[in-house]
Copies of this chain bind each other. A is one copy, B any other.
């Protein structure tokens, strides 16, 4: 009902809509309308109410609620059930909890702020209020745990393509970061729960530094982190970005579900790769591999050629690119 009232206000943007009219069109009591208006105000909508004239929408806030995103969505499942939070400890933690309780595929947890945002391997992730996209998608694919890393490639492809659609060139630092000018703008944290040969659910955490200004990037990570706004010089629509991601993700994910392949995602990952053709170092469980990143396999593994020309295939790891950020 709140969403319907909001739609009505938006349709009449700038003009007053009388309580009488809302009440009749939506078959809702005047008291209930008043209650919903207050909820909308709490979410950041500026609504003017004048007696005998009614209600008028003055300002739509930049919030990532379903009501604000839905008109931009082309998806069937992804992002059709959005749980929106003003502040939360971690969207991945919340998503895992909800997934355990049975929340279905495509459910998304979005928060304006994370107080305990997490990156890979339990690391901290700075997630200030209203400045980024901090969200987690719940999926329940019928695949093997060993194939779960494909989901990270699908997600990286979807996010990279979505940022590009906003006119901002970006690169995928295999396996799960998006970078611009060799600085991170997005991290992807894929977590799973399952039996040994059956996935119960996967939670895909996506953290994007969207509209953070220079002074909002902590000093100690200024060399390695940036935001879309800093790099493109303009404020980016978070709503459009989120909708793009859902649209692209669903399309690429369906290829995995329907054909059990991720060809289209791998194409995007290759086109936008930050590592292919570069000398890199990969740290994987305390072992180090050095060589040239030469290709991605159809499953999303990275092929590295060492000095002797031997090719190694790796499924995950911490990648450094030679010549960047102190690795010489």
* Interface hits, A137-196 → B, CB 8 Å: 144-146, 148-149, 152, 189-196
Q: Does A285 contact B (CB under 8 A)?
A: yes
Which of A152, A195, A198 has its CB near the most chain B CB atoms (within 10 A)? A195
A194 to B190, CA, bound (A): 9
Closest B residue to A202 by CB, please name it. B196
Question: By the criterion CB–CB under 8 Å, are A190 and B198 in contact?
Answer: no
- Chain B residues near A189 (CB, 8 Å)? 195
Question: By the criterion CB–CB under 8 Å, are B196 and A193 in contact?
Answer: no
- Chain B residues near A195 (CB, 8 Å)? 120-121, 189-192
A120 to B316, CA, bound (A): 28
**Set B145, B196, B197, B200: member contacting A285, Cβ < 8 A:** B197
Q: Tell me the A residues contacting B by CB distance below 8 Å.
A: 96-97, 100, 120-121, 144-146, 148-149, 152, 189-198, 200, 284-285, 315-317
- Chain B residues near A149 (CB, 8 Å)? 196-197
Question: By the criterion CB–CB under 8 Å, are B196 and A121 in contact?
Answer: no
**Set B190, B198, B316: member contacting A121, Cβ < 8 A:** B198
- Chain B residues near A146 (CB, 8 Å)? 145-146
CB distance from A145 to the nearest CB of B (A): 6
CB distance from A172 to the nearest CB of B (A): 16
- Chain B residues near A190 (CB, 8 Å)? 195-196
A97 to B100, CA, bound (A): 9
CB distance from A90 to the nearest CB of B (A): 12
Interchain Cβ contacts under 8 Å between A and B, 23 examples:
A97-B100, A120-B195, A121-B195, A144-B285, A145-B145, A145-B192, A146-B146, A148-B196, A149-B197, A152-B196, A189-B195, A190-B195, A190-B196, A191-B194, A191-B200, A192-B194, A192-B196, A193-B193, A196-B315, A196-B316, A197-B284, A197-B285, A197-B317
Closest B residue to A190 by CB, please name it. B196
CB distance from A249 to the nearest CB of B (A): 17
Q: 8 shortest A-B CB distances, which residue pairs? A: A197-B316, A193-B193, A149-B196, A191-B195, A190-B196, A145-B145, A148-B196, A196-B316
